[in-house]
Amino acid sequence: MDAGGKGRKVLLDEQRFSQTLEYLERFGYLDTSKPRTSTSISNAVRKFQFMMHLPQTGKLNMATAGKMAQTRCGVPDYPDEWLLPLQDPARGRATTQEESYKRRQTLPDDFFARWWFKCDLTWNLLNGYFGLSSVRVRDMMRMQLDKWQTAINGNNGGRQPLIGFTELRNGSRTDIEFSFERRNHGDNNPFDGPGNVLAHSFFPYTSGSLQGKLHIDRP
């Protein structure tokens, strides 16, 4: 398979091509229940390029391969067939307002159960990270959550805060539970070691015992 890009083509060896297909399948761009075809692979690459704000050529050029090599979140970009961008890259045009409305009517019953039904969220850290003390790691978590909270609440026009985070350490179940994990760690979503996937999390209400958990890769 050739990769096109501004006059330069790179012949992908079998291993790299296999890694590309694995990436597209893992992150929701390629439907694993259907046979792989040149068209389906090209459409999958085009969708990825759309998400990465790259020209939608459908070809695995250097810019596209570079994006795939970057570190990222482990949650799929297209977790379900019905969750598509407003611009459909397969057709090369924007989805109309009527089409968007019809699509929303087909959302599954548990769609809105993927968000919390409250704004005051509790969190806890379950373990430390290598040589860093749990106190240091908690300080880092708290600082990042404060940034997230400020970014969200700072754009609400001065109204009542939209979201808040409270740390709990008494061992009770919290809305968000951070933990550092390595490779296979019991959730059927193993980490890949240094590089690529940095972390993954699970939706509230629909993920059973994993709901609200956020796992961070520990090489």
Please tell me the predicted confidence (pLDDT) of residue 2: 47
pTM for the model stands at: 0.65
Start-end of CATH 3.40.390.10 domains in the chain: 114-217
Q: Which architecture, in CATH terms, is 114-217?
A: 3-Layer(aba) Sandwich (3.40)
Closest CA to 212 of 172, 174, 170, 164: 174
Q: Which architecture, in CATH terms, is 2-107?
A: Orthogonal Bundle (1.10)
| CA 84 to centroid of chain Cα atoms | 14
The string of pLDDT tens digits covering residues 41-64 is 998 998 898 888 889 899 888 899
Ranges of the chain whose pLDDT falls below 70: 1-13, 78-115, 130, 155-161, 206
H or E stretch covering 23:
helix 14-26
Please tell me the predicted confidence (pLDDT) of residue 122: 93
Closest CA to 12 of 52, 54, 62: 62
Please tell me the predicted confidence (pLDDT) of residue 160: 65
Pairing of strands 87-88, 2-5: unpaired
Question: Which phi and psi (to 5°) does residue 215 adopt?
Answer: -100, 135
Closest CA to 26 of 62, 94, 75: 75
Q: Report how far residue 45's alpha carbon sits from residue 40's, in angstroms, rounded to the nearest whole number.
A: 9
The string of pLDDT tens digits covering residues 126-144 is 887 767 788 888 999 999 9
